[in-house]
A = this chain, B = another copy of it.
């Protein structure tokens, strides 16, 4: 079982995938939403609590997050880092192995093209997992991370996974 996480302060995408060699199935996916009027610390607590609940419900053994991140400036990077830290501390305390994949590699694995647009990723994730609807962007990113890891894990050597 693989937990894909795309943390950010206001909308953390998450996905839990069960995968074997034949196929991958999405057990759950969604967004941990924190309204703009919540103080930052309330968001961090909400992210930590929700991730802990996901771990209890699904017991994934592995967690995958984005490796190279995008941030416009130092302040954005700090805030994004806080959201990642809130989520990853829970994951690490629970003993999961944590891997990073670069966003370009995720797109390459899912769409076959490293510079693919967000919508293309969403539609491809929908198709690969047989989802009824195109998932929301944050959840789609988390699903794509988990899927890319599942593919890479099934084909050792295909992608270099770096343990965090």
Q: Which residues of A contact B (CB under 8 A)?
A: 39-42, 44-45, 47-49, 69, 71, 73-75, 77-93, 98, 163-164
Contacts and interface: CB of A to CB of B under 8 A. Distances in A.
Copy total for this chain: 2
A22 to B, nearest CB: 30
* Interface majority SS (helix, strand, loop, mixed), chain A: helix
A42 B86 CA distance: 13
A46 B91 CA distance: 12
A92 B45 CA distance: 5
Contacts of A74: 71, 73-74, 77
A40 B47 CA distance: 19
A39 B79 contact: no
B164 A92 contact: no
Contacts of A164: 39-41
Contacts of A73: 74
A141 B31 CA distance: 37
